Structure 1
Amino acid sequence: MDFSSSLTDNMNYLNNKLDVDQNFDLVYRTFYIGEREAALYCIDGFTKGDVWQKIMEDFSSIKKEDMPLDVLEFSKKFFPYSQVSLVKDDDKMIKSLLTGLACLLIDGYDKCLVVDSRGYPSRGVSEPEKDKVLRGSKDGFVETLTSNTALIRRRIRDPRLTMEIMHSGESSYTDIAICYFKGRVDEKLLATIKERIKKLKVDALTMNQESLAECIYPHKWFNPFPKFKYSERPDTASASLLEGNIIILVDNSPSAMILPSSIFDIIEEADDYYFPPVTGTYLRLSRFIISILTLYLTPTWLFFMQNPELIPSWLQFIQLSEPPQVPLLFQLLILEFAIDGLRLAAVNTPSMLTTPLSVIAGIVLGEYSVKSGWFNSETMLYMSFVTIANYSQSSFELGYAFKFIRMIILVTTALFNFWGFVGGILLSICALVFNKTIAGKSYIYPLIPFRFSELKKRFFRGRLPHREK
């Protein structure tokens, strides 16, 4: 429905449609501009009051004979604000209002003036808890979309940086920003992503980026290795944009979705570049080695415990000091689940109790569980290493992918011994080799297809590149 030139008719329709008598946070106010009645609609808590105070002061000086016949001329001549647009359709006006925009209707004009004077409630910009760095900037994304785009714009001051806004969700009408660098982005992938977002038929993106990720890439859900890299660091997002990646920002989410992403992209971290090349290379290689150890350490130890005759003489110390009361497979699996239980408990533990409860949990589950005979000390040692080493990389999704693959190898090794151990390792390799990025390319490029020059860059951090203009 289009607006009419009668303010009374427009207000009656909107008040009924928006149910303003029931919604206490949806407010409207009538006043006069040049002796014409006007109505301002806004959401309480979304609008900057100081902006409208200044606008009202300017409106009070307009005389009746100065009011133009056309609303477009009025907005150009008398509206002292930059972010103003005209809307004729009421559905578009209501969606704009519910996203936080203020809407002004004036008697005699058949269009609504939509003013972007939003001031979303948000927390301060601070360093992300999960993406901390030893050196470098300490700012991070927040839940407000415009703040996140501003953090990126602050780092890339180039007109080729493009940020397109899209919307998804019939009820939520969630804002989605697609950021890319013209001339470096994969245009085919960009067009595909845009088309998939346009075709989304969902009621709401209740879980923000995860809901969007599952909608735009619904294939091969059984492969645990992540297709997207998530980062709460604007410097990481900016560097990815300059490398030709696409960044997707979703309103109400404090992290950026980076795509396409391979296994090497996900393991990479900002600390690799905030230190000199030698130190950065050491940190990167350490992270790769630790990631491999978290995946294969406990299955390899279990295999040797089942075949002690294969243990070389220099590794004899890894044998059990006491015979197990509970089969080793069950010990390892119980600890895998117990660690997740402690992690979930830590999330819901009040911060003031975190330290004392951690000490109690360490004593009870460490010393007493060994003395009780439930676990061997060697089992506790190796699982402790795996648990702590899993935090050497920041991706939760990759950590759980390693966990699921590790548990599968443990079960196959316990059931089928040597062939189960080999089969589990082959399964983990196949999960990587036959996986594809969202762009349809190899998940382990530049290993497959093999490119030595690119592979060297993945393992060894050289000098930061200087792109020619």
Structure 2
Amino acid sequence: MEQKIKIYSELRKNESYIRDKFKNCADILIRPMRLGNESKVDCLIVYIEVAVSNMMLDDSALGKMINHFWESSSYQIQEFVQNNSLGIADVRKLESMKDVLSAVLAGNAVFFIDGYDKAMKISSKGYPNLGVSEVESEKVLRGSKEGFSDSVKTNSALVRKRIRDSRMKVEEKTTGVRSKTMLQILYMEDLVQEELLENIKNSLDEYRIDGIFDSGMLEQLTDKTWYSPFPQYQTTERPDRAAMEILNGKIVLLCDNSPTALILPSSFNGFMESSEDWFHHFEMTSFLRILRYLALLVATLLPGLYLAVIRFHTQILPANLILSFAKAREGVPFSSVTELIFLELSFELIREAGVRVPGALGNAIGIVGGLIIGQAAVSANLVSPIVVMIVALTALGSMVIPEEEFASAFRLLKYIFLFLGGYLGIFGIVLGIYLTISHLCGLLSFGMPYMLPFIKKVPRCDTGEGILRIPFQKRWQRPLYARWEQKIRLRKTSVGEDEGRDLKEGQKQEEKNS
């Protein structure tokens, strides 16, 4: 077993083992050298060519060390490596060949020296990555424009840049038997609930798999309610959003090679919030949140309600409107259900094509394609104009939802409500709403109710969570995810009579709840 193989003090044995393991790996360079001014000492450097391309330059730590060794004796070199090597850079001593292989494959350089039974792992710039760029999927008018990159180290540094507190912990784990993908768990030590943290760690260790290449694969493996279309993880590409959720007592999971962070536990209300909600004034933010919830209802229920009304409950509409609907459907050869499904699937095709086509051409396909297909279908009497309008409103409603994966769940539910409304009428719509709400109320995200804060274990009304956003100065409590003893997040350093009264009322409520 690799974990039992120690590093030999004889360099030739180490070199033989390394060359055998990396046989036919042209991207991994094994460079022997002899250093010292009088009696030479044999050394060996192993690294991935692209990841450590600058290792021999004068401005690199390893390059400076090797240049120093050229003028040292073999005894001085060994003494320096044994006693002072940890001070030259981000260096760690390795004691087994398994650690050596893992360090090389992680993009680091490993340095061997003859007569020394340990190796030195010297961190380098690592694998190539895209770097920090602007967020594409979570556009905001106000707030940071930085987005996560493909490097997990860079991503955790972007969060650390916003939370400069030693109580924010970053734990590393490796997953994937063959890919050995690095994961990082970020949390505030004094805010996170210990049971939640242990639950998440156990979920990560529950499966063994060949490789994890994106946080989405990790999300699907650790979903407890795997059959539910609703995501149990909240995703973000914004470091500021991740930092805000950490301060709420949540945990952020970063996966190497993925620019998307996972926030857990998640809640229904959290998916409906935008990153900039706390940067705008509370009146406008509350209005926008109400608009998002209305858009969610439109995206889910509007096609089913239309079918229920025109097929079963025409009496609830004015006579002129019913006659207008009937006139618009003259000459359409399909039933109203078939007509609506045909146009909905056509718009789904246009949406998917717009996503896959790169650049500005994708946006043009989405806009022009929708207009052309809708107009052509109406002209050919395949669909009625009112159906085109309903499908367009439904598509707009789904686009208003900030979280794309959350919106996708309601895009699927839309077809269920379409059939329920088309064949059972209003009774089918009510039945679908009842089943959906029952399912949502029964969902748990790592032990926390999915419908928080609408379902509360402890009555707390001033955390700022919910459809309406309270003024920032009144948001003095943390959400339920944080520890109870750390629930106060906002204090006044000097309070007047009115402000002090508000704070005392909050403290009284705190004592009452506890």
Q: Structure 2 length as normaliser, TM-score?
A: 0.84
Residue in 1 that maps onto 2:226 = 221
1:57 aligns with 2:57: no
Contact 1:103–1:114, Cα closer than 8 Å, also in 2: yes
1:201 aligns with 2:190: no
Cα distance in 1, alignment partners of residues 99 and 320 from structure 2: 71
* CA distance 1:204–1:359, shift in 2 (3 Å): closer
* CA deviation after TM superposition for structure 1 residue 454, in Å: 5.4
Residue in 2 that maps onto 1:420 = 428
Residue in 1 that maps onto 2:471 = 463
Contact 1:88–1:110, Cα closer than 8 Å, also in 2: yes
Residue in 2 that maps onto 1:129 = 136
Q: Matched residue pairs, number?
A: 461
1:99 aligns with 2:103: no
Q: Any residues of structure 2 matched to 1:273-292 within 5 Å, and which?
A: 273-292=278-297
Q: Secondary structure at the match of 1:459?
A: coil
Contact 1:412–1:420, Cα closer than 8 Å, also in 2: yes
Cα distance in 1, alignment partners of residues 454 and 320 from structure 2: 32
Q: Secondary structure at the match of 2:211?
A: coil
Residue in 2 that maps onto 1:447 = 454
Residue in 1 that maps onto 2:28 = 26
Q: Percent identity?
A: 27
- Which moved further from structure 2: 352-361 or 42-51? 352-361
Cα distance in 2, alignment partners of residues 363 and 408 from structure 1: 26
1:253 aligns with 2:258: yes
Q: Which runs of 5+ in 1 are unaligned?
A: none
1:270 aligns with 2:275: yes
Match of 2:402 among 390, 394, 397: 394
For 1:67-97, what per-residue CA distance to the aligned partner results, in whole angstroms no more than 9, with x for missing partners?
3458531424xx622x111112111210111
* CA deviation after TM superposition for structure 1 residue 341, in Å: 1.5
1:108 aligns with 2:120: no
Q: Structure 1 length as normaliser, TM-score?
A: 0.92
Residue in 1 that maps onto 2:439 = 431
Contact 1:141–1:232, Cα closer than 8 Å, also in 2: yes
For 1:7-61, what per-residue CA distance to the aligned partner results, in whole angstroms no more than 9, with x for missing partners?
0111011101111xx2221012122333211000001111251424333323333
1:232 aligns with 2:237: yes
Q: Which runs of 5+ in 2 are unaligned?
A: 477-488, 492-514
Contact 2:43–2:112, Cα closer than 8 Å, also in 1: yes
Contact 2:230–2:406, Cα closer than 8 Å, also in 1: yes
Contact 2:300–2:410, Cα closer than 8 Å, also in 1: yes
Cα distance in 1, alignment partners of residues 443 and 428 from structure 2: 22
* CA distance 1:314–1:463, shift in 2 (3 Å): farther
Cα distance in 1, alignment partners of residues 319 and 456 from structure 2: 38
Cα distance in 2, alignment partners of residues 397 and 358 from structure 1: 19
Cα distance in 2, alignment partners of residues 337 and 189 from structure 1: 41
Residue in 1 that maps onto 2:315 = 310
Which residue identity is paired with 2:217? S
- Which moved further from structure 2: 411-420 or 347-356? 347-356
Runs of 4+ in 1 over 6 A off after TM superposition: none
For 1:222-249, what per-residue CA distance to the aligned partner results, in whole angstroms no more than 9, with x for missing partners?
2211101000001100000000000000
* CA distance 1:381–1:192, shift in 2 (3 Å): same
Which residue identity is paired with 1:221? W
Cα distance in 1, alignment partners of residues 431 and 210 from structure 2: 43
